[in-house]
Copies of this chain bind each other. A is one copy, B any other.
Amino acid sequence: MIAEMAGVSVSTVSKIMNNYSDVSEKTKQRVLEIIEQTGYLPSNSAKTLATKKSSLIGVIFAGELNVDFTHPFFVEVLNSFKKQMGVLGYDLIFFSNEKFISGGDYFSRCLHFHVDGCVIISGQKMENAIQELDMSSIPCIGVDLELKGKKSGYVMSDNFKISSKVVEHFYLLGYRELGFIGSTADSNISNKREEGYIKAIEGFGMAVNEKWFVHGDDFFEPSGYAAMQQLIQAGNLPKAIFAASDLLALGAIRALKEHGLRIPEDVAIIGCDDIEACKYTSPKLTTIRQNKERLGVLAAHMLFDLINNQSEGGSFVVEPALVIRESCGSQNT
């Protein structure tokens, strides 16, 4: 350790760096000064090796069809997560999802890097490696992913409430023939929204017409386009459609426009997420806002508490909000 320029032992320096109390104020000041001058930062690997703590959080894009930096929703919660984790003193390490050169599932890789905890971003077709991690002693927080392990927790929006807000809005505007565009059946989130949607429709005493429920391969724009095409092909469109993501909604709008259909005059649309793009489309997209910032901050704090044994895991559900723009009009009161 370079800091023996101060003429003290390594142990003493170590104690100072770690804010132990049993050091004389005098030597403490002297050492601190030298540290300041040299811009010294202890080697992370040595520290990690000695303590088994790395101040590193692993981030994992789970699922075979996984989300990446390109995903407008998750990327925003990740952004907020990263910031919050930064002020808590952690850096992030992103695991490459390609098969690691030296092999190794997520769990071994967590050990390998001694990460203090992980955040796992939901994707499609979950691999077993995620389960293994979930069940391990490594603290994990799922985003839109219901982790059940002892040292795990998760955050997500209240998906049932999302759907009921959509239905309520449609209902109040006079729409009675409601359709739905979701993702595949192996998407838990899509299923939840669909289920909630159906419940809400029935709750309002309207009829559920299964023909108007279609599904893409994922949550992206082309899937929305394809799903809408399918609906248009079948003829007899619903008056209003809830798309389980904004991107899906944008795809649907593109298909509608290509067929000369107007939004909202012919078909009203509500998306979900409130990504940036909603504001720039025409018509501007009415949607359900997921509080991405809050999801990220919450995930960070939960993970922090888990790491420091101040909590037992569990979940946090955040409140969604309807954002009214132009894609539903305001007809019929």
Contact = CB atoms under 8 A, between A and B. Distances in A.
Nearest to A108: B41
A130 interface: no
B69 A86 contact: no
Contacts of A82: 68-69, 94, 96
Nearest to A78: B69
Contacts of A40: 108
Given A43-B114, A44-B45, A76-B69, A56 B93 contact: yes
Contact of A98 (B48, B87, B114): B87
Given A68-B79, A79-B70, A111-B41, A91 B93 contact: yes
Contacts of A112: 41-44
A128 interface: no
A239 interface: no
Contact of A280 (B68, B83, B221, B279): B221
Interface residues of A, number: 56
A257 B282 CA distance: 10
Contacts of A276: 70, 221
Contacts of A94: 82, 91-94
A93 B54 CA distance: 12
Interface stretch (A99-107, A171-179, A302-310, A318-326): A99-107
Contact of A45 (B39, B49, B95): B49
Interface in A185-223: 221
Interface string A235-268: 0000000000000001000100100000000000
Contacts of A46: 45, 49
Interface in A103-140: 103-105, 108-109, 111-114
Interface of A: 39-46, 48-49, 54, 56, 68-70, 75-76, 78-79, 82-83, 85-87, 89-98, 100-105, 108-109, 111-114, 221, 250, 254, 257, 276-277, 279-282
Given A41-B102, A86-B100, 10 more contacts: A41-B111, A43-B112, A44-B114, A56-B93, A69-B78, A70-B76, A75-B75, A82-B94, A87-B101, A92-B93
